[in-house]
Amino acid sequence: MKPIIIGNWKMHLTASDVGDYARTFLAEPDILTKAEVTICPAAPLIPAVAGAFSNSPVQWGGQNAHWETQGAFTGETSMAMLSNLGCRLVLCGHSERRKFFHETDEMVSRKVEQATAHSMVPVLCVGETYEQRHQQQHEVVVMEQIRKGIDLLSAFPSLALYVAYEPVWAISTNQAIEPNPSDIIAMARLIRNALREELPTGAESVPILFGGNVNPQNAKKFVDGEVVTGVLVGGASLNPKTFHQIVTQLV
Ligand code: 13P
């Protein structure tokens, strides 16, 4: 299976930066065909990213969208809007959404449902805070995020889902503590077990990704190719050369 590599640009770059980024990133396209690479820019940049990468192996996705199909929600983006721009996946419940925009597990589960209803792959983001790990609550917290996050998926005949385990304390803009890879694999195994318990079928084929200050130096440590099969990259995806190096490390 190809490694899955997702770049989350967060609230960085502008549409004017996309052309140069794409030219640099696509300079060695062969290697990109050996991975499944997706870039998630901020919503207003999606048309530029779609234009720059449409004839390349690189795909694009959304960082977030609302759980309602449409309506009077000023400033929000719908799943239909993302899907219409060719997004193949959408991040749901990123820790920054949970922290700064007070997203609950219930909201996240409705986003996962809406993404699926619009034929995009929901990337369910889970992860505990530093305090929660310190208090030995990390397993309980993450299992709850998984169970509630996929709560509404059983209504769909086929399953398309990724899980991204991003311990909040490992993210570069937080404490950026580098985790022990064995702790990441252990949590990924627990996530797999929870998926087996909750999903009627398909739990074995849900890719589990790791995120948290992934860079070209450490990417390989966290991807064992069996339990963890990809990465969700924030800061290091903003530089096309660095992001390309991460792809090179993992293929
Ligand atoms: P960093 O790679 O900057 O730590 O961000 C991780 C992340 O939050 C990706 O979604």
Whichever domain contains 142, its CATH number is 3.20.20.70
| pLDDT at site 70 | 97
- Residues near 183 by Cβ (< 8 Å), separated by ≥ 6? none
- Reported as a single tens digit per residue, the pLDDT across 177-229 is 999 999 999 999 999 999 999 998 899 999 999 999 999 999 999 999 999 99
| pLDDT at site 105 | 97
Q: Is the CB of 214 under 6 A from ligand 1?
A: yes
**In which band, very low, low, confident or very high, does the pLDDT at 154 lie, cut at 50, 70 and 90?**
confident
Q: Is the CB of 232 under 6 A from ligand 1?
A: yes
| pLDDT at site 35 | 98
| pLDDT at site 175 | 87
Going from the Cα of 178 to the center of ligand 1, the distance in angstroms, rounded, reads 12
Q: Is the CB of 61 under 6 A from ligand 1?
A: no
For residues 164-201, one letter each, b for 16 or more C-beta atoms within 10 angstroms of the residue's C-beta and e for the rest, the string is bbbbbbbbeebeeeebebeebbebbeebbebbeebbee
**In which band, very low, low, confident or very high, does the pLDDT at 157 lie, cut at 50, 70 and 90?**
confident
Number of separate domains in the chain: 1
Nearest-atom number in ligand 1 for the CA of 233 is 2
3-state secondary structure of 132: helix
Q: Which residues are catalytic?
A: 94, 166
Q: Is the CB of 247 under 6 A from ligand 1?
A: no
Mean pLDDT across the chain: 97
Testing ligand 1's pocket by substitution, the residue of 13, 38, 213 carrying the most ligand atoms inside 8 A of its CB is 213
| Cα–Cα distance, 87 to 80 (Å, whole number) | 10
| pLDDT at site 155 | 85
Domain extent, residue 35, equals 4-250
| pLDDT at site 200 | 84
**In which band, very low, low, confident or very high, does the pLDDT at 79 lie, cut at 50, 70 and 90?**
very high
Mean pLDDT to the nearest integer, 136-141: 98
- Residues near 41 by Cβ (< 8 Å), separated by ≥ 6? 9, 13, 18, 48, 49, 60, 63
